[in-house]
Amino acid sequence: MSNIEGLVSVKEELKGDVLILRMNGRLDAVSSPPAERKVFDYINNGQHNLLLDFSGIDYLSSAGMRMLLSVTKKLKTLSGKLVLFAVTNNVMDVLKMSGFDHVLELAKTEDDALRKF
């Protein structure tokens, strides 16, 4: 498990060729850039199927949304995929208000998310 700037912790788990990143904390203007660098490290090391467990993310700012969009676009160019699951109500409200619920691939549970690959 690694801690990004003390704001977001990330725990990695590999299931087949899908990397699950269990995130806890806030994705805001301070934590999103280092979180994005961390996710891009995984992508650059060949992990192109990513699941983000958002059950522990209690706040998402526009900077966090930009990070998700940037990761989604990068993975598309590599024929990979990003799926978010277990998104909390507060964060889901933000995604819906911004229209990101139509841009990002979302799933209710980890099993639902894994079936998308």
Give residue 3's pLDDT band: very low, low, confident or very high (50, 70, 90). low
Give residue 7's pLDDT band: very low, low, confident or very high (50, 70, 90). confident
pTM for this predicted structure:
0.93
User: What are the C-alpha distances in Å from 60 to residues 10, 63, 93, 97, 115?
Assistant: 15, 8, 10, 12, 25
Tokens read off for 32: 């999103």
Q: What is the pLDDT of residues 35-89, one digit of tens each?
A: 999 999 999 999 999 999 999 999 999 999 999 999 999 999 999 999 999 999 9
Question: Domains along the chain?
Answer: 10-115 (3.30.750.24)
